[in-house]
Each structure stands twice: as C-alpha cells, then as structure tokens.
Amino acid sequence: MKWLRRIGYFLIASIVGFLFASMLHTQSVLAGLSDIGVVIPLMDRLSTTGKDLVGLAPTYGVVILIALGIAFSVAGLLNKKLNTKAWYLYPLAGGLAFLVMLLAMQPILNVTLIAGARGTAGLIMQIIAGVIAGLCFASLLSSKPKLSN
C-alpha cells in the first residue's frame, strides 16, 4: 500500500504544481497587458484565472503530470543510490522538469504554448511552480500517516 500512497502524493504534488503554473501564467499575461495600459479589474483577473485553470488542465496539466512523473521517478532512484534528502532532490527535479518541458515545447511544436513563459521572468515563475510541486511531494513523503485502529 506504500506505492498507492506515493501515487496519491504524486497526484497532489502535480495538481499543486499545475495550479501554481497556471495562475502564474495567467497573471504574467495580464501583467503584460497592464504594462501597455489595459485596465484589468480584480474580478476579471479572478475570472480569467479560473477560466485558464479549466482550459489548461487537459493540456498543460497532463504535460506537467508526465514531466513530473519522469522527474520524480529519476529523483527517487537517485535518492536511493545517493541516500540524500528528498527535500533537495524533489524540488530540484520539479524545477528541472518544468524547465525541460517548456524548452522542449519550442523545437517540437515550434511555438511556446505557455505565453506566460515566453520571457525570462515568466520562465522563472514556471520553474518556481515546479519547485513548489517538488517541495509538496517531498513534504508529503516525509509526513507520517496516522494509522487508525
């Protein structure tokens, strides 16, 4: 049953990573519009964020799930071999997964699908979302489940 718990932790971390990535993407795009003088009320920001969460889930969400699955699997193998702390490996793996995923989209699809990652600041924000997913996964792995009688 340990593997089932681990899959659950992975899914939670992937969802957290996607939520952060999607919200950061949306706010980055809206900030760009604000920079050119477009006034975006708070309710429109919130509405746009919600619509992007729903709209990006079947595509960007799945790509994030795959990228983190590969990255966390490699990190798990390295963790066993190097006997290091999960707190270091999984956030690093999450950040690298997002970096590689976003950089690979350009030559494969000839487009940067995530507009919020086209600039350096946006790319860094997406990498931070991957780091947060890794921190979430490491935190869940280190928590001790409570056993009921």
For 62-97, the pLDDT digits (tens) are 999 999 999 999 999 998 888 877 778 999 999 999
Determine the Cα–Cα distance for residues 143 and 10; give it in Å rounded to an integer.
14
pLDDT tens profile 93-124: 999 999 999 888 776 666 666 776 777 888 88
- The identity of residue 122, as a single letter, is G
- Helix, strand and coil content of the chain, in percent to the nearest 5, comes to 85, 0, 15
C-alpha–C-alpha distance, residues 86 and 15, integer Å: 19
Structure tokens at 81: 């071999």
Closest by Cα among 129, 125, 108 to 116: 125
pTM across the whole model? 0.86
- Reported confidence tier of residue 131, pLDDT bands at 50, 70, 90: very high
pLDDT: which is higher, 96 or 3: 96
- What residues have CB less than 8 Å from 35, skipping those under 6 apart? none
